[in-house]
Each structure stands twice: as C-alpha cells, then as structure tokens.
C-alpha cells in the first residue's frame, strides 16, 4: 500500500453509515481481494471480496493471543487508511459543508481532492 486512492464512490451525506453505502454500491471485483473494515461492518458479505474484520471480545471470553495479534495488524493498516483520508481532508472544501447548491458538484470536488492527493503521493515517490 503506497497511499494512493484507488476507488472513490459517489458522495453521500454524513448521516449515511458506511455499511449502507457499501451495500448500496454493490462493489464487484475482478478477483477476490482483501477488504479491511472496522467493527461497524459486522455481517457484511461479498462474493468477490474477502472481508477482514477485527475480532470482538464476547461477554464471557477474552480474545486469544492470536486474535489480539490479528486486531493489532488490522488496526495498524486501518490507521494508515485514516491518515490517507485526513490527507484528502486537508483541502477544506472537502471537509466543510458544501454550500454551492446551484450546481451540485460534490462528487467532482471530491474527485479533484483525491486526484491531488494521488499527485502529491507520486511526486513524493519520484523525488526520493
């Protein structure tokens, strides 16, 4: 994972849960790809993706050492993903309320912000 954004769904209001967006979009991959998700995606199923979720501790049982190690691995990768999202949100127009209602361009603005993020990542890669 080099930090590039590879997929962008249409924008949704902030009140829509990510799991509902995922169900509505019905992503189909050409091969079985791993998809890391947080615990809010419990019960999500895909025939074309391998959904990787953190393990949840039950009421009566603690997690095994292997499950805790798995959760740390998932958290480490998800933290990198959250940093990528924060990097896109450095463009204020993306993180604040979009008020330009005459011509709804939320999707275009998000696409441009993600493209700029990818350009910055590639520029850093080529200068090193």
pLDDT digits (tens, 9 = 90+) for 45-65: 777 788 888 888 888 889 999
CA distance 75 to 6: 20
User: In this structure, are residues 29 and 45 in contact, taking their beta carbons and an 8 Å threshold?
Assistant: no
Q: What average pLDDT does range 108-122 have in this prediction?
A: 89
Domain of residue 67 covers 18-127
Would residue 110 count as lying in a domain? yes
| Predicted confidence band of residue 1 (pLDDT cuts 50, 70, 90) | low
* pLDDT score of 122: 87
| pLDDT at position 72 over 90 | yes
Measured in whole angstroms, how far is the alpha carbon of residue 52 from the centre of its chain? Answer: 13
* pLDDT score of 70: 94
Would residue 3 count as lying in a domain? no
* pLDDT score of 118: 92
Would residue 89 count as lying in a domain? yes
Inter-helix orientation angle 106-127/65-88, to 10° = 110
Percent of residues, the chain, with pLDDT higher than 70: 91
Which tokens in the block code for residue 64?
A: 């095994």
* pLDDT score of 103: 59
Domain total in the chain: 1
Of 47, 27, 34, 40, which is closest to residue 73 (Cα–Cα)? 34
Would residue 34 count as lying in a domain? yes
Would residue 79 count as lying in a domain? yes
Would residue 1 count as lying in a domain? no
61 Rama class: left (phi>0) / alpha (psi -120 to 50) / beta = beta
User: In this structure, are residues 19 and 41 in contact, taking their beta carbons and an 8 Å threshold?
Assistant: yes
């Amino acid at each position: 994972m080099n930090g590039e954004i590879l997929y962008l769904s249409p924008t949704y209001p902030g009140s829509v849960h990510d799991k509902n967006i995922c169900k509505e979009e019905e992503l189909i991959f050409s091969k079985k790809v791993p998809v890391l998700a947080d615990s809010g995606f419990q019960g999500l199923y895909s025939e074309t993706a391998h959904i990787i979720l953190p393990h949840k501790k039950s009421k009566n049982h603690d997690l095994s050492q292997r499950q805790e190690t798995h959760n740390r691995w998932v958290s480490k990768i998800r933290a990198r993903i959250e940093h990528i999202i924060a990097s896109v949100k450095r463009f204020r127009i993306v993180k604040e309320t979009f008020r330009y209602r005459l011509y709804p361009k939320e999707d275009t603005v998000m696409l441009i912000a993600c493209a700029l993020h990818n350009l910055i990542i590639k520029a850093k890669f080529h200068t090193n």
